[in-house]
Amino acid sequence: MSLTVAERKLLAEEWCKKAKGKMDHVAVHVGCMSLKDSQDLALHAAQIKADSIAVISPSFFKPKNAHALRSYLKAVASAAPNLPFYYYHIPSITGVNVLVRDLLVGIEEEIPSFRGVKFSGIDLMDFGLCFSLMKPNWSLLYGVDEQMLSGLVLGADGAVGSTYNYVGCQFNKLLSAFEKGELVEARTIQFKLQDFLGLAMKLGFDVGVNKQLMVEVSGLSLGPPRFPVMPCHPDVAASIKHKYESIFPQC
């Protein structure tokens, strides 16, 4: 959301190009404050042969209800009608608290390309009630890393999270344990991840911290965040990395 439209197009082009033969699916996020910019990015995603698009709600002029949000999403989807379309629900960032279950009512009639939701909210009742409205070709993906197991128990088809960039191996173990019915093991891993993320949150967990942790763990030079997000002090990232290594001696 801190990038220009031109930068976002370049980034999407690189992901689609580099992912060929390596990844099953590339979803391009096209949500913006401006409807016209979102439509521009959606059309571009179709032109570069992305597999799907996802859209976050505008957060300055906010939709007041499900009808308003659905109307906005419909307008964006119309720019790329043949691309599978996902709504990205993250109320802690957008301040948009429209219940997803209300948004889903009749949405397939207004957006034929609709294929699901990335649900990054902590309201598990809302998440659970979405399943009564599910269609066979939809997916509900859970996006609160510290509660992933809860999402899986309710029926999530998968998960999308920022911390998976550097602790994904642990979440894969959690997923594997859950799929095998080993709930005690899955719960144990989730509790360990909560312990790790708890320290990160205590030290001021944000995008700047997340990015620095990716640098520390991967060894890749990813550059600083863009203002107003502040860079993370290396000592903070080192403390969080040490906590991770103490909980998970090996991946």
Q: Is 199 helix (H, G, I), strand (E, B) or coil?
A: helix
Q: Which helix (H) or strand (E) holds 41?
A: helix 35-47
Cβ atoms within 10 Å, residue 123: 16
Return d(Cα 178, Cα 194) in angstroms, integer: 17
Catalytic residues: 88, 118
Residue 32 burial by Cβ neighbours in a 10 Å radius (0-12, 13-18, 19+): buried
Taking the C-alpha atoms of residue 205 and residue 48, their distance in angstroms, rounded to an integer, is 34
> Would you say 54 and 86 are in contact if contact means Cβ atoms under 8 Å apart?
yes
In the chain, the amino acid numbered 164 is: Y
Question: Length of the chain, please?
Answer: 251
